[in-house]
Amino acid sequence: MNSFGTLKIFATALMVSVLAGPVIQRLLPDWATLAESVGSGGAWFASIMYHIVYGIIIGAAAALAVTLLGRFGKFLTLPGAAIAALVTVVLFDAGFVLFKPKVETFAWLALILALISFAAHTLMTFIPMGQHAGDDNRELPG
């Protein structure tokens, strides 16, 4: 995959994280505590801000996975990357609610998030919906 294709995968992961992450977090039980602390608008703002950071980490791990898998002839489509990013956000947000008292430092959280993203994007290349056999710059029909 060329560098533009890798950039598209990164941007897709970032976009999915920022758009879906706060909504997913809103559905989790910790939302009420956050909203009581900073208000409803502050909770949405805080959620969007740290999902931007999550999106950058998820996108970097996705770009690394796509680059490494491209060397072995495996390619990932944008819908496959979007599904993998969404799965990563759901797993991480739910895991953060479950294991919050046990993990404190951001470095460990970032490493866990990157590993989840790398694994999800790698698995999507083996699912028929997430893969294609050609180059990302192929011409569209019509």
pLDDT in tens, the chain (142 residues): 678 888 999 999 999 999 999 999 999 888 888 899 899 999 999 999 989 999 999 999 999 999 998 888 888 888 889 999 999 999 988 887 777 766 567 777 888 889 999 999 888 888 876 555 554 444 444 4
CA dist., res. 96 & res. 93, Å (int): 5
31-70 vs 106-124: helix crossing angle, rounded to 10: 50
> How far is residue 56 from each of residues 15, 41, 111, 121, measured CA to CA in Å?
10, 23, 12, 15
Rounded distance between C-alpha atoms, residue 136 and residue 2, angstroms: 8
pTM for the model = 0.82
CA distance 26 to 140: 38
Q: Which residues contact 133 (CB under 8 A, 6 or more apart)?
A: 75
